Each structure stands twice: as C-alpha cells, then as structure tokens.
Amino acid sequence: MPTTDLKAAVSLDEARRRAGLSAFPLKPDVACTRCVGLEPEFFPVTVDDDGRPTGRLPLFGCDASVTGIVADVAVADRRIRPGHESASGAREFDLEGGGRLTFEPGGQLEHSTTVHRSVSAAVRDVEDVLARLDPAFRDAGARLVAAGLDVWNPLDAAPQQLPGQRYVAQAAYYDRRGTWGAVMMRHTASLQINLDLGPEGVWQERWRLANLLAPVFTAAFACSPADGWVAARARAWQELDPTRSGFPRSFVVGSSADPRTQWADAALDADVMMIRTDVGAWRAGEPGFTLRRWIEEGHPDVGWPIATDVDYHLTTMFFEVRARGFLELRTGEALPGRWRAVPAVVASVLLYDDAARGHALERLEGVRDRLPELWRTAARVGVRDSELQELAGELLAMALHFAPHLGDGWVEGRDLDAVRRYLDRYVAHGRMPADELVEALADGPAVALAWASAT
C-alpha cells in the first residue's frame, strides 16, 4: 500500500531493479529449459434447439451458470477439484496433476495448464479437460466456442462479471481511455503460450525472437474478424492503452540491448492502472500518471509507492510478450480445436531449437524498428499482406523442418500434420481462420458456431 512517509517510499533505482529482475531473474529456473504451458480461453455461448446462438451464459446467478456447470463437473469428475473463491470474486478450480480453471471479466472460461515437458503433452492436456467440460455445457444448452472475438453476440450481452477490486478498477481505468478496454476484457478470447527463458545467453535471444514473431503470429492466426479487420482482438490491444501494450519502446528503437533495462523502462513509463488501498475501493488510475511520475512526485491523496506497489504494477503490464521469469506469448487468438496445436508447435520449436532460433532471428531482425507498424498491418489484413504472408510461410516451414531436432515425442505426428495442413490451407493462399469464420457467418450463425467448436 502507498505511504505518506517519503523515507519509506521506493526509489526510482529500486523500482528499476525490481522490474528488471522480476522479468528476467539473475538465476533463471533451469530445471526445465524447454517446457510448455498453454492458456486457452473459451466463450460460453447459449444456443437454441437448432444450434443458433442466443446469448452468453452468465458467470454467476442461475442454475445454468458457467461456474455452476464447472462446479457440477467437479463433483462428478475427480480430475477437476471443488473450487475456492479467489481475489477475482469468482471460484477457481484446481486440476489434478496441476493447472486450473479460472474466468475472465466477461465470463470467458480459461484453462491454464500445468507445465509440460513437451508441446504435445500440453495440447493433450487441453483436449482432456475440454472432453470433460464440453458435454456438461451442451447439456445446459451452451457451447464452448474458440475464436478471438465473440462475433455472435453484442458487447452488452457480456457485462463485466468479476466483482474483485482489481477488475472493477481495471474496467474503470480503461473506460477513462475509451471503449476498447471493455471489448478486450469482455469480448475477446486468447491462446497464450508460456515458454521457458533458458540459460544465460539463450534467454536474451528467446526474448528477442518472441517479440519479433508477434506481428507474424497476429497475421497468420487471425481469428477475430470485425469491421473489415481480420484480428479485431489485436486491434483492441493496439487501441486501449499504448503505455502497457504492444512492445517496449526501447526494444523497438534499440536504445538498449539489455532486456532488463527494456522491461524496466517500459514499467516506469506505463500509466498506473490502479492504486490499492487498505480502506475502501481501490483507485482507478488516470491516463498520463505513470509509475515514474508517481515515484518522483507522489500522489496528492495517497502519497508515494512502496516496493509492493511496484510489484503489483508489474502485473498490469500487457505487452505482446510478458516476461515473468518465463515468456508469456500473448499474441495468439483462441482457435478451434483442430488448429490449437499449430501456434504452440511453431512458437516452441522456433524458440527452443538453437538452429531454428538462429535462422528465425536472422530472418526477422530487419523488422524490429517497424514492429508497431507491422503489427497494425497484421491486425488489419493479416497474411493478405505479401510481406507477412512470406514471413509466415517461411517460419511455419522452418518449424516443420527443425521440430525433429527436439527429440522423439516432443511433438507428436498429428500435431506436426496440423502445422502442414494449416500452412497449405491458409498461409500458402493468403488466408486465415478469420476468412473461414466470415464465410461461415454468411451461411448462418449456427454454422459459424459449429465451425468454432472448442473441441
């Protein structure tokens, strides 16, 4: 909590140090240097007898609610354990063997897998949990749907549903910046890929490549068509708050080669999203009031931040790659089950195989100073852009070529086959899942809903 005692306040140097080391520890965990975790999100959409969407299933408040259905499954299936209330104000459900089920502000269901020692094991984990949940949602007249944007329902069909102070303050902060925060929080779904930093000399390269991949992944895996954009989810992140999304400025312009400095600079220059207090509701931040300014000038009502305020501020940074002692690749959009393995395979092979990483870095280093521009193009037209199509095609082919280097069992044959089919079906022809979703919508919302089945 903030302090009115300037002597107890955190210094700029200490804030910088804490930020850099929280992202990239001096001694990274090397127990597993090529593990994988996935965080897919799903929309719970209600349907009529003909499979047409009728709205979003509420998170709380009725017999057929999202949390109620998951709780019922937990009673019947020992893989999912009875839930406990979290700081979000919603129940969380731990999974036997690791991982958990949580919920986003619009009622989206999120599965955070445990850490797996192969990419295919992580994909199978997601499939296994969905196989347990999907029948229960169908019995309740709903479908778990995987796409980057809820194209079936208006935004007001999914109001803010998490009562925790963090989410209330976050929504209020975004509202002060415009309308895109509500779209992101309540109307989008992602597929995040979590990868290890690796040892000294390797983690710097993985960080660099993960950022350089972001526009290509936005383009290649676009699955949120709206208003003529192929990746409206990415557009939301581009619009809602440039101080904490996209790419650290010093990474793009090359003013620092040290990832710790890049992250620390970004943290100091990000607006304070919320100020926690021990009495009453938390304060939503004001656009323009950066962490740097808070440390240097204080706040007229609450004083200065202490070290734990800096640590909490770091949890509100949402760049395309979040460094948290591991790399959280946030670019990915929710994809139907048949394609879910593809971005996970491609990202993990390119970052984890030394030769693949070297080739990919050599190919992408030239776009670094154009990352924001290329990311914008990716959200608007995806791989219809000839440069992005060429890059995506080369990188997917590169992943296929180098995947065997990671050993037998690390990527199963069916997941490699999914990458091949994806390359041939979409990227080679300048197409994306967003194109098929638009075509399915033209045939009717029920057809599009079936296309986006999560399983």
Question: Each residue of 285-303: pLDDT tens digit?
Answer: 999 999 999 999 999 999 9
Query: What integer is the mean pLDDT of 174-202?
Result: 96
Choose between 350 and 88: higher pLDDT: 350
Choose between 453 and 280: higher pLDDT: 453
3-state DSSP call for residue 234? Answer: helix
Answer whether residue 184 is part of any domain. Answer: yes
- The pLDDT score that the predictor gives to residue 447 is 97
Q: Is the pLDDT of residue 28 over 80?
A: no
Per residue in 226-251, pLDDT tens?
A: 999 999 999 999 999 999 999 999 99
Per residue in 134-161, pLDDT tens?
A: 999 999 999 999 999 999 999 999 999 9
Asked whether the beta carbons of 217 and 347 are under 8 A apart, the reply is yes
Q: Is the pLDDT of residue 29 over 80?
A: no
Answer whether residue 427 is part of any domain. Answer: yes
Q: Give how many domains the chain has, as a whole number.
A: 2
For the chain, the average pLDDT equals 95
Query: What integer is the mean pLDDT of 319-347?
Result: 97
- The pLDDT score that the predictor gives to residue 404 is 96
- The pLDDT score that the predictor gives to residue 405 is 96
Do 49 and 84 reside in the same domain of the chain?
Answer: yes
Q: Angle formed by the axes of helices 180-187 and 232-240, to 10°?
A: 130
Do 75 and 141 reside in the same domain of the chain?
Answer: yes
| The domain boundary residue, chosen from 296, 318, 340 | 318
H or E element at residue 111:
strand 109-112
Residues in the chain: 455
Asked whether the beta carbons of 385 and 373 are under 8 A apart, the reply is no
> Could you give the CA distance from residue 120 to residue 141 in angstroms, rounded to a whole number?
31
Per residue in 399-413, pLDDT tens?
A: 999 999 999 899 999
- The pLDDT score that the predictor gives to residue 30 is 66
| The domain boundary residue, chosen from 273, 298, 318 | 318
Do 235 and 259 reside in the same domain of the chain?
Answer: no
Do 271 and 337 reside in the same domain of the chain?
Answer: no
Per residue in 104-137, pLDDT tens?
A: 999 999 999 999 999 999 999 999 999 999 999 9
Q: Which domain holds residue 400?
A: 36-248+322-451
Burial of 221 (0-12, 13-18, 19+ CB in 10 A): buried
Do 48 and 131 reside in the same domain of the chain?
Answer: yes
Do 342 and 416 reside in the same domain of the chain?
Answer: yes
| The domain boundary residue, chosen from 318, 345, 365 | 318
> Could you give the CA distance from residue 247 to residue 423 in angstroms, rounded to a whole number?
27
1 confidence band (pLDDT: 50, 70, 90): confident
DSSP letter assigned to residue 190: B
Q: Is the pLDDT of residue 32 over 90?
A: no
How many other C-beta atoms lie within 10 A of the C-beta of residue 72? 16
